[in-house]
Homo-oligomer: A and B are copies of this chain.
Amino acid sequence: MTLFGKDPRLLVRQAEPFNGGPGPDALLSSFVTPNELFFVRNHGAVPEVDPAAWRLTVDGLVENPLSLSLADLQRFPRRSAAATLQCAGNRRMEMMAVAPIPNELPWGTEAISNAEWSGVCLRDVLAAAGPRAGALHAAFTGLDETERHGHRFHFGGSIPLEKAMRPEVLLADTMNGAPLPAVHGAPARVVVPGYIGARSVKWISRITLQEEPSDNYFQAKAYRLFPASTGADNVDWEAGMMLGESPVNAVTCSPLEGDRLPAGPVTARGWAVAGGGRRVARVDVSADGGKSWKTAELEAVGDGWTWSFWRAVIDLAPGEHEILCRAFDSAAQTQPDHPAQVWNFKGYANNAWHRVRVVCG
């Protein structure tokens, strides 16, 4: 075991703060990612939280502001649900090959994992506080601290109140049946299925109902989507779209980039995921640059909040090949062909066709 009890197979993208995720083979080894393999996205040091002293404040546009101990929180009805979390920056490295993206983590395809969470429904806690008229967003603040542009502050973000009141949104205190690990937000974190991982705030300490989205840096500036013509030098932060639901995405985990394989039938395997509660309807694989596609078999079918695993057998002649994959979601939406089409200077939401080059024979 290494830092934070993580599996040594984690690809570590940054040591401090600690950021890493499971490589393609490790990732595909289990539909429910073991805690020691689950990817980690930290914006600051892991805070040391004394569970006995921890309080969750619920305030803002509520009838009854709350200050809950862990025992208070755990008195709400319990709920368990599987949910796949994915960093908005997953697959950024492919965008970096199009044009530089400085000062951001060079994620390959490993900033995604799937766990069974349990805890209480956020909406039950909000109902106890009593949302007041005018409340449109639930803003979350964590206990982790970070620094940007000379200011030191806590990580935070928000989701629309309509989403916060949906049954799938949890305040989780366990992960795959174990107490929530420190690096994943102990004693309690938000889990917002179907949204970019950044909204699933760890080490949750405050939930504020308010009229506007959070003014935290990670909601107001970072995690916004800009056109390719926008850069750090000309950015108008207000003009970018605040990221929420994730777009449909798919990745080939096997074979690996650069693999040498016998010519003939090759089994490609990987994951696909849709956002916002949409399901993965279909995964296609192509070995001719997208001129023709073969429909993959969904070997583990997720619901609207989890990924699916897929496999397809394709026949490859001797020589070099590029294996492409793409998914369709239940809203008949599919993926753009190349990262250049979705490139943005922060490197978010890359859901272009995934490409793996192999040599056969």
Contacts and interface: CB of A to CB of B under 8 A. Distances in A.
A229 interface: yes
Nearest to A294: B229
Nearest to A230: B295
Interface centre among A225, A282, A334 (most CB of B within 10 A): A334
B241 A328 contact: yes
Given A328-B241, A330-B244, A229 B336 contact: no
The prevalent SS among residues of A at the interface is loop
A69 interface: no
Number of copies: 2
B331 A275 contact: yes
B333 A247 contact: yes
Contacts of A331: 244-247, 275-276
A349 B229 CA distance: 29
Interface residues of A, number: 36
Contacts of A275: 331, 333
A330 B278 CA distance: 14
A267 interface: no
A348 interface: yes
Contacts of A284: 227
B281 A332 contact: no
A282 B332 contact: no
A332 B241 contact: yes
Nearest to A290: B341
Nearest to A162: B277
B278 A241 contact: no
A332 B227 contact: no
B334 A342 contact: yes
Interface string A266-297: 00000000011010011010000010111100
Interface in A174-211: none
Contact of A332 (B225, B328, B330, B332): B225
Given A228-B293, A328-B225, A333 B244 contact: no
Interface string A317-346: 000000000001011111111000110000
Given A228-B293, A335-B336, 17 more contacts: A225-B282, A227-B293, A227-B295, A229-B294, A241-B330, A244-B331, A245-B332, A247-B332, A275-B331, A275-B333, A276-B276, A332-B348, A332-B351, A333-B333, A333-B351, A334-B341, A336-B337
Interface of A: 225, 227-229, 241, 243-248, 275-276, 278, 281-282, 284, 290, 292-295, 328, 330-337, 341-342, 348-349, 351
Cβ-closest 6 pairs across A and B: A245-B331, A332-B349, A247-B333, A241-B281, A247-B332, A227-B295
20 contacts: A225-B282, A225-B332, A227-B284, A228-B292, A229-B292, A229-B293, A241-B281, A241-B330, A241-B332, A245-B278, A245-B332, A275-B333, A276-B278, A290-B341, A332-B348, A334-B342, A336-B336, A336-B337, A337-B337, A337-B341
